[in-house]
Amino acid sequence: MSTLKRVPTDFAVLGGTPAFDHPLPVGQLYFPSWERYEEAMRGIFERGWFTNHGPLAQELERRFAELADVRNAITVTNATLGLVMGAKALGLTGRVVVPSFTFVATAQAMTWAGLEVVFADVDRETHQLTPATLAPVLDDDVSAVLAVNLWGGTCGPDALEELCAERGVTLFFDSAHGTGVSVGGRPLGGRGALEVFSFHATKTLSATEGGCVCTDDDELASRLRNIRSSYGAGAPVAVEVTGNGRFSEAQAAIALLNLDDLPANVANNARLHTAYTEGLAGIDGIRVVAPTGADESTYPYLVAEVDETTFGMSRDALVGLLAAENVIARRYFRPGVHRLPPYRDDPRNVALHLPTTEHLARTLVQLPIGALVDLGSVERICTLVGAAHRLSGHLVAREAA
Ligand SMILES: Cc1ncc(COP(=O)(O)O)c(C=O)c1O
């Protein structure tokens, strides 16, 4: 293991020793202590109640509703399914706008719900959908907008709500990254018609897999609960079709433990985020992009923008170099969803040019942050990035040779 890279051949891509012994991944990747997990699982075994809205799922819904300051929190198998169920429960038809700069599931969930996806660009500074980037595609054929609250920041939901209300269009939110984030003194959860959170292992609140649909509309919540269980939820609310979006007790057990540890995990993220911001500040051509539009972020991602000309190597070359050092950086989101199947082959998207999405897809990198990362690792990663910049001319030339 070696962090000091004085000459190009010290880098693992050119035969040197990797800076880290084990791969350091991107993602929150929270693990409770084995003792606490064992105790939670023992309770499940003793009750003999594994799924079908058991006591732990019910407790998580109560506690998440409190955290998000919302009347209804409906746990689901994952956020992708939550988005499909949300669109169905809202009775949406026709066209829905989504930002192209998002995880592919945002758009694909709408396709599964039988909707036609229209792509909008995002803001250059915040990476979020804004009224200015939404307006050009908000024509009379659009029935809904699915906005995304990215990176532990927000898209400024109040301004979007105003625009969509003016245009008579349903607004709902993919808040997969948004657990614990607040804006305007209110947590995410009760904006728009509904908000969907992800409890994937890489997210701020992990259930290993999972998600939650939040809404202040009790009738909509009853429809969602009915859709969630193919047995029906008992509530006599007519829905077009039911499914299986159930959330197991094992998922709920992990999420509840994580909820207990959330303040400590967020504080750890904030510390690491500050360390990266300071550690990368003096390196030309790489800039940390802080989450925007939030009173206080949970810092679930460390997002940096690489300017190839000034940094001396492309974002992709840096990711390759870091991977050899066992730093598993990511390129989210690449490419923009309008350039992914099945959307890229649609004649309307072939000619679609979304300059900011395409720019961000080329230049952004996510560095490891979360429960598996400590300050020492951040320091070593920043040193590596600095050395990559300093030796970039030699590294690029040697790799090309
Ligand atoms: C913006 C966004 N939306 C939706 C999802 C899908 O979440 P899940 O994996 O819980 O289905 C993700 C997951 O990474 C995401 O980043």
pLDDT at 277 over 60: yes
pLDDT tens per residue across span 171-197:
999 999 999 999 999 999 999 999 999
Structural domain ending residue among the three candidates 226, 257, 288: 257
Mean pLDDT computed over 359-385 = 97
**Is 156 inside any structural domain?**
yes
- Whether residue 181 is contained in a domain is answered as yes
- Assess whether the C-beta atom of 200 lies below 6 angstroms from ligand 1: yes
Task: Give 339-343's long-range contacts (Cβ < 8 A, gap of 24+).
Answer: 339/100, 340/104, 342/111, 343/107, 343/117, 343/119
Does residue 128 contact residue 173 with C-beta atoms inside 8 Å?
A: no
* Position 3 in a domain: no
- Domain range spanning residue 44? 34-257
CATH code of the domain in which 180 resides: 3.40.640.10
Q: Is the pLDDT of residue 273 over 90?
A: yes
Any ligand 1 atom below 6 A from CB of 174 = yes
Mean pLDDT computed over 40-45: 97
Tell whether 1 is covered by a domain: no
Q: Are residues 16 and 62 in the same domain?
A: no
State what percent of residues in the chain have pLDDT above 70.
97
- The answer to whether the CB of 5 is under 6 A from ligand 1 is no
268 in the same domain as 251: no
Q: Ligand 1 centre and the CA of 309: distance in Å?
A: 32
Same domain? For 114 and 230 the reply is yes
Say whether both 163 and 306 belong to one domain: no
Looking from the CA of residue 148, the nearest atom of ligand 1 is 1
Cβ of 301 less than 6 Å from ligand 1: no
pLDDT of residue 242 exceeding 90: no
Which residues touch 354 (CB under 8 Å, ≥6 apart)? 100, 101, 119, 120, 121, 336, 338
Residue 237 predicted with pLDDT over 60? yes
| Lookup: tokens for 236 | 């006599």
Q: What percent of the chain has pLDDT over 90?
A: 92
Residues 159 and 270 in one domain: no
Pair (122, 266) in one structural domain: no
Query: 269 and 374, same structural domain?
Result: yes
Provide the pLDDT for residue 234: 60
Ligand 1, atom 16: closest residue by C-alpha = 103
Kindly state whether residues 321 and 219 are assigned to the same domain.
no
Tell me the CB-side half-sphere exposure of residue 155, using CA atoms within 13 A: 35
Q: Output the pLDDT for position 394.
A: 87
pLDDT at 235: 58
Domain boundary among 217, 235, 257: 257
User: How far does the centroid of ligand 1 lie from the alpha carbon of residue 181, in Å?
Assistant: 16
Q: How far apart are CA 193 and CA 86, in angstroms?
A: 9
Do 229 and 174 share a domain, yes or no? yes
Domain final residue pick, 257, 284, 317: 257
Place of tokens 């690489």: 306
DSSP string, 187-201: ETTSSSS-EEEE--T
Q: pLDDT at position 236, please?
A: 64
| 53 close to 229: Cβ distance less than 8 angstroms | yes
Give me 330's structure tokens.
Answer: 């990511």
The answer to whether the CB of 129 is under 6 A from ligand 1 is no
Same domain, 239 and 357: no
Whether 213 is in a domain gets the answer yes
Distance CA 300, CA 202 (A): 9
Q: How far is the CA of 3 from the centre of ligand 1 (A)?
A: 33
Q: How far is the CA of 107 from the centre of ligand 1 (A)?
A: 10
Looking at the predicted structure, is the pLDDT value of residue 34 above 90?
A: yes
| pLDDT over threshold 90, residue 317 | yes
User: What pLDDT, on a 0 to 100 scale, did the predictor assign at position 400?
Assistant: 65
pLDDT at residue 3 is higher than 70:
no
Do 223 and 132 share a structural domain?
A: yes
- How sure is the predictor about 120, in pLDDT bands with cuts at 50, 70 and 90? very high
CATH classification of the domain holding 273: 3.90.1150.10
Residue 47 lies in a domain: yes
Q: In this structure, is residue 210 part of a structural domain? A: yes
Is residue 327 situated within a structural domain? yes
User: Are residue 106 and residue 227 in the same domain, yes or no?
Assistant: yes
Domain count, the chain: 2
For ligand 1, the distance from its centroid to the CA atom of residue 16, given in whole angstroms, is: 36
